[in-house]
């Protein structure tokens, strides 16, 4: 049955073309509302294709080069003709930008009578119940927590949304947030005394009534997998679903369609069992003894892996590690705790809730058995692997392909699905993304960037560098980069593929800048928050920022502050990644080449994201320096070249130095 307000049959081709030409023209309504608006053919044509997909309730995969203005290209048809629309973004930052800036601008310009709501995951909203509990229990771990808690107590009396993004005085990653927000496991639901005032429920009610709802990918897929975030209630009535930054979808969906049990979750459950047991059933069992046995078993399981950071497939775990005996002990202790919770559950809703959480965690551990052989379990459908951190161990069950799961989610009510990003294709070929998402056979289009890359930029691949696996490779890259950074006057993003490389590059640059008397401020990922680093980088005007994955995408620095982007090497996934190894194993059993069909396309799409940081405006100029010699020496290098923007290209350092000289 068609979604409410949707047409019963395909709309005539080009039904909205004339109206879109008018809206995006120099004399149209958008021009006075947008400071530097100028008509762009790519943007107008993209808007027409999206309008047609909306009218026909079809799927469209839309790659639009940097500077196309894809946000307005999908917002204009969505606000005018999209019916109930869900827009899902790659990050919470982009989500806020859409809700606070872009949608209000377009809505005002078009005088579109649409209501808009912002919906985030529950961990973004202060929870009245958990705030009160934390204030009463006083379980503070630091002096900062005490001050932050005071700020949150004031905030909850003034805010109408409860969204922690509004409270800038408390850092987003402050540990106190874990104690004053709820999770699906710890929410009391309708039993909560604060249910009517709940910020999560208020946000969901507003989303139900709004014409346009802005979410993010994590929220969308957490909901599809867990039925927890309110999106499930929105989907039946949605006519149009738009995914911006759609290149992130395969990884996000994989995360949520899989299952993870961590020792941290188990320890958190133990903390809550002890608190609720003592609060509501003090005369019952010895609660401290019950939880101590589980906590010890969880910590013992973590200690079966001595490393602080590692990933390992199930088949790689050696019997002598003690992992499986420790796992069996943990299962037994959780089972014993469940028995106690079942006996006491009638005493309080919160104890029953702890029992439900314990049962779910026990079910997640059941898949882990020592007899499983090979890289893949369950008929090539999933892979089991562990990941160790300094104080926790995560047990993952990850689907090898989300295509069948996501295809299943898209069946049913006819509606339009729009997938857009600057990086979805490899050399104008969308097969990799389409296969990952189960979108084979759907329409895919590409609109080039309006930027004049040949005039605005230079692609430099230095000669003489060793292979990336050679000893001293990172030092050779820094040696090669230093004269270029100096010629550029700082103004550099130095993007690395590993955190280890970030640290090494930062140390070398700090030493070299001091030795050479170069007064370039140096900003390093991890030393401060991403937003603060970017603000400082823009303000400085001659800085060098060294970062890894979080700076490869979703970062917009326009103008002279960024004129050089250095990429240390091709961003291939680590070969020891258990999920990648299992996927390639399955592909090769099917007669495909795992490297050419999966590893290389993934790396090219990531590289395009990194390269996209350089030219962000019609007046930007700069150099993209890719240090990896494999782009030249390997047969697959041609595919890499052809997927990058059409910059002028050179291998001669003198030409790069010349490029930076004042004209």
pLDDT tens digits, 31-54: 887 766 788 899 999 999 999 999
Q: What is the C-alpha to C-alpha distance for residues 173 and 93, in angstroms, rounded to an integer?
A: 14
Tokens of 598: 């999966």
Q: What is the C-alpha to C-alpha distance for residues 621 and 614, in angstroms, rounded to an integer?
A: 8
The contacts of residue 466 (CB under 8 Å, 6+ apart) are: 472, 473, 476, 629
pLDDT digits (tens, 9 = 90+) for 199-226: 999 998 899 899 999 999 988 887 766 6
- Nearest by Cα to 493 from 546, 532, 531: 546
> Strands 310-313 and 382-388, how do they pair?
antiparallel
Q: What is the C-alpha to C-alpha distance for residues 264 and 183, in angstroms, rounded to an integer?
A: 14
The contacts of residue 430 (CB under 8 Å, 6+ apart) are: 61, 63, 424, 444
The whole-model pTM stands at 0.86
Cβ pair 525, 546 in contact under 8 A: yes
- Look at residue 209 and give its three-state secondary structure: helix
Average pLDDT, stretch 396-400? Answer: 89
Query: Residue 301 has what pLDDT?
Result: 94
- Distances in Å between the Cα of 488 and the Cα atoms of 139, 209, 455, 457, 620 are 51, 52, 17, 13, 13
- Nearest by Cα to 599 from 580, 616, 617, 582: 580
- Whether the predicted pLDDT of 1 surpasses 60: no
The C-alpha angle 279, 283, 286, rounded to 5 degrees, equals: 90
Q: What is the C-alpha to C-alpha distance for residues 541 and 537, in angstroms, rounded to an integer?
A: 7
Tokens of 480: 């090669």
Q: What is the C-alpha to C-alpha distance for residues 90 and 218, in angstroms, rounded to an integer?
A: 8
* Crossing angle (nearest 10°) for helices 263-280 and 323-344: 20
- Whether the predicted pLDDT of 327 surpasses 90: yes
Query: Residue 230 has what pLDDT?
Result: 56
Query: Residue 139 has what pLDDT?
Result: 66
* Crossing angle (nearest 10°) for helices 128-137 and 143-158: 140
- Nearest by Cα to 626 from 650, 642, 600, 646: 650
CB atoms within 10 A of CB 282: 8
Mean residue pLDDT across the chain: 89
pLDDT digits (tens, 9 = 90+) for 602-636: 999 999 999 999 998 888 999 999 999 999 999 99
Average pLDDT, stretch 584-594? Answer: 89
- Nearest by Cα to 50 from 5, 95, 15: 15
Cβ pair 419, 34 in contact under 8 A: no
Average pLDDT, stretch 75-86? Answer: 96
Tokens of 202: 């208020």
- Whether the predicted pLDDT of 370 surpasses 70: no
Query: Residue 141 has what pLDDT?
Result: 67
- Distances in Å between the Cα of 438 and the Cα atoms of 409, 435, 582 are 11, 5, 19
Query: Residue 39 has what pLDDT?
Result: 87
pLDDT digits (tens, 9 = 90+) for 434-465: 999 999 999 999 999 999 999 999 999 999 99
Q: What is the C-alpha to C-alpha distance for residues 418 and 57, in angstroms, rounded to an integer?
A: 10
The contacts of residue 417 (CB under 8 Å, 6+ apart) are: 59, 60, 241, 243, 410
Strand partners, 86: 213, 241
Q: What is the C-alpha to C-alpha distance for residues 60 and 184, in angstroms, rounded to an integer?
A: 33
Query: Residue 586 has what pLDDT?
Result: 85
pLDDT digits (tens, 9 = 90+) for 525-578: 988 878 888 999 999 999 999 999 888 887 888 888 999 999 999 999 887 788
- Whether the predicted pLDDT of 306 surpasses 90: no
SS (H, E, C) 337-400: HHHHHHHHHHHCHHHHHHHHHHHHHHHHHHCCCCCCCCCCECCCCEEEEEEECCCCEEEEEEEC
Backbone φ and ψ of 460, nearest 5°: -120, 120
- Nearest by Cα to 526 from 505, 557, 556, 554: 505
pLDDT digits (tens, 9 = 90+) for 128-185: 999 998 888 766 667 888 889 999 999 999 999 999 988 888 887 788 998 899 887 7
Helix residue ranges, H only, 126-262:
128-137, 143-158, 177-180, 199-209, 217-226, 231-234, 249-257
> Strands 544-547 and 522-524, how do they pair?
parallel
Query: Residue 513 has what pLDDT?
Result: 95
Q: What is the C-alpha to C-alpha distance for residues 337 and 350, in angstroms, rounded to an integer?
A: 15
Count Cβ neighbours within 10 Å for each residue of 232-260 and write b for 16 or more, e otherwise: eebbeebbbbbbbbbbbbbebbbbbbbbe
For the chain, the straight-line distance linking the first and the last C-alpha, in angstroms and rounded, comes to 63
Q: Quick one: what percent of the chain has pLDDT higher than 90?
A: 60
pLDDT digits (tens, 9 = 90+) for 468-521: 999 999 999 999 999 999 999 999 999 999 999 999 999 999 999 999 999 999
Cα within 13 Å of Cα(383), Cβ side: 26
Rg (CA), the chain: 27
Query: Residue 226 has what pLDDT?
Result: 60
Q: What is the C-alpha to C-alpha distance for residues 298 and 332, in angstroms, rounded to an integer?
A: 11
Domains of the chain by start residue, with CATH: 17-121+200-252+401-447 (3.40.50.300), 257-399 (1.20.120), 453-659 (3.40.50.300)
Beta strands per DSSP E along 414-567: 416-421, 443-447, 457-460, 492-495, 522-524, 544-547, 564-567
Range in 279-288, 370-379, 385-394 with the lowest mean pLDDT? 370-379
- Look at residue 469 and give its three-state secondary structure: coil
Average pLDDT, stretch 322-327? Answer: 92
pLDDT digits (tens, 9 = 90+) for 226-256: 655 555 677 778 999 999 999 999 999 988 8
Class of residue 392 by CB neighbours under 10 A (exposed 0-12, middle 13-18, buried 19+): middle
- Distances in Å between the Cα of 619 and the Cα atoms of 211, 301, 452, 484, 563 are 37, 56, 10, 21, 11
pLDDT digits (tens, 9 = 90+) for 340-368: 999 998 888 889 989 999 999 999 898 78
Query: Residue 555 has what pLDDT?
Result: 83
Tokens of 320: 């002598």
Average pLDDT, stretch 182-202? Answer: 87
Query: Residue 4 has what pLDDT?
Result: 39
pLDDT digits (tens, 9 = 90+) for 106-130: 999 999 999 999 998 888 999 999 9
Query: Residue 5 has what pLDDT?
Result: 41
Query: Residue 213 has what pLDDT?
Result: 95
CB atoms within 10 A of CB 91: 17
Contacts 24+ apart (CB under 8 A), 557-562: 557/493, 557/613, 557/616, 558/616, 558/617, 558/620, 559/617, 559/619, 559/620, 560/491, 561/491, 561/537, 562/491, 562/492, 562/493, 562/537, 562/613, 562/614, 562/616, 562/620, 562/622
Q: What is the C-alpha to C-alpha distance for residues 417 and 619, in angstroms, rounded to an integer?
A: 34
- Nearest by Cα to 422 from 553, 323, 532: 553
> Which strands make up the sheet holding 622-626, listed edge to edge?
522-524, 544-547, 492-495, 564-567, 622-626, 457-460, 648-650
- Whether the predicted pLDDT of 378 surpasses 60: no
């Amino acid at each position: 049955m068609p979604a409410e307000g949707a047409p019963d049959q395909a709309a005539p081709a080009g039904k909205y073309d004339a109206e879109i030409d008018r809206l995006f023209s120099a004399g149209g309504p958008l021009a006075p509302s947008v400071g530097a608006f100028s008509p762009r053919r790519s943007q107008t044509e993209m808007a027409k294709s999206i309008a047609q997909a909306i009218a026909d309730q079809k799927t469209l995969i839309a790659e639009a080069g940097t500077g196309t203005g894809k946000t307005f290209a999908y917002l204009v048809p969505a606000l005018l003709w999209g019916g109930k629309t869900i827009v899902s973004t790659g990050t919470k930052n982009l989500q806020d930008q859409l809700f606070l800036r872009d949608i209000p601008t377009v809505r005002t310009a078009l005088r579109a009578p649409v209501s808009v709501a912002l919906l985030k995951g529950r961990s973004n909203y202060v929870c009245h119940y958990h705030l009160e509990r934390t204030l009463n229990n006083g379980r503070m771990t630091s002096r900062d927590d005490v001050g932050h808690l005071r700020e949150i107590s004031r905030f909850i009396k003034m805010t109408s949304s409860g969204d922690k993004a509004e409270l800038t005085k408390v850092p987003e990653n402050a540990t106190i947030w874990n104690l004053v927000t709820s999770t699906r496991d710890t929410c009391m639901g309708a039993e909560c005394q604060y249910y009517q005032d709940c910020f999560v429920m208020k946000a969901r009610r507003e989303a139900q009534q709004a014409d346009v709802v802005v979410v993010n990918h994590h929220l969308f897929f957490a909901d599809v997998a867990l039925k927890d975030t309110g999106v499930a209630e929105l989907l039946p009535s949605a006519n149009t679903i738009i995914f911006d930054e759609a290149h992130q979808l395969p990884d996000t969906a994989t995360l949520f369609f899989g299952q993870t049990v961590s020792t941290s979750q188990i320890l958190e459950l133990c903390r809550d069992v002890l608190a609720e047991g003592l609060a509501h059933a003090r005369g019952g069992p010895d609660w401290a003894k019950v939880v101590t046995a589980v906590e010890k078993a969880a910590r013992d399981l973590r200690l079966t892996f001595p490393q602080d950071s590692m990933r390992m497939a199930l088949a790689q775990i050696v019997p002598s590690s003690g992992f499986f005996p420790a796992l069996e002990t943990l299962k037994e202790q959780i089972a014993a705790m469940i028995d106690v919770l079942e006996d006491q559950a009638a005493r309080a809703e919160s104890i029953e809730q702890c029992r439900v959480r314990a049962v779910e965690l026990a079910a997640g551990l059941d898949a882990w058995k020592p007899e499983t052989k090979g890289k893949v379990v369950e008929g090539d459908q999933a892979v089991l692997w562990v990941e160790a951190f300094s104080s926790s161990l995560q047990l993952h069950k990850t689907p090898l392909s989300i295509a069948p799961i996501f295809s299943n989610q898209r069946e049913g009510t006819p509606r339009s699905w729009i997938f857009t990003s600057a990086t979805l294709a490899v050399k104008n070929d969308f097969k990799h993304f389409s296969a990952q998402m189960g979108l084979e056979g759907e329409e895919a289009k590409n609109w080039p960037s309006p930027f004049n890359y040949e005039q605005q930029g230079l692609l430099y691949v230095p000669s003489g560098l060793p292979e990336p696996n050679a000893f001293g490779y990172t030092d050779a890259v820094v040696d090669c980069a230093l004269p270029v950074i100096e010629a550029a006057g700082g103004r550099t993003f130095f993007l690395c593929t590993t955190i280890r490389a970030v640290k090494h590059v930062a140390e070398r640059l700090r030493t070299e800048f001091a030795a050479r008397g170069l007064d370039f401020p140096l900003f390093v990922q991890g030393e401060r928050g991403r937003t603060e680093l970017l603000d400082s980088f823009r303000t400085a005007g001659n800085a060098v920022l060294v970062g890894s994955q979080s700076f490869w995408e979703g970062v917009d620095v326009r103008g002279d502050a960024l004129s050089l982007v250095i990429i240390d090497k091709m961003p291939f996934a680590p070969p020891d990644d258990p999920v990648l190894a299992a996927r390639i194993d399955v592909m090769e059993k099917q007669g495909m080449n795992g490297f050419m069909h999966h590893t290389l396309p993934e790396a090219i799409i990531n590289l395009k994201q990194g390269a996209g940081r350089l030219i962000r405006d019609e007046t930007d100029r700069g150099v993209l320096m890719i240090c990896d010699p494999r782009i030249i020496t390997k047969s697959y290098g041609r595919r890499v070249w052809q997927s990058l923007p059409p910059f002028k290209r050179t291998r001669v350092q003198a030409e790069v130095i010349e490029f930076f000289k004042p004209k």
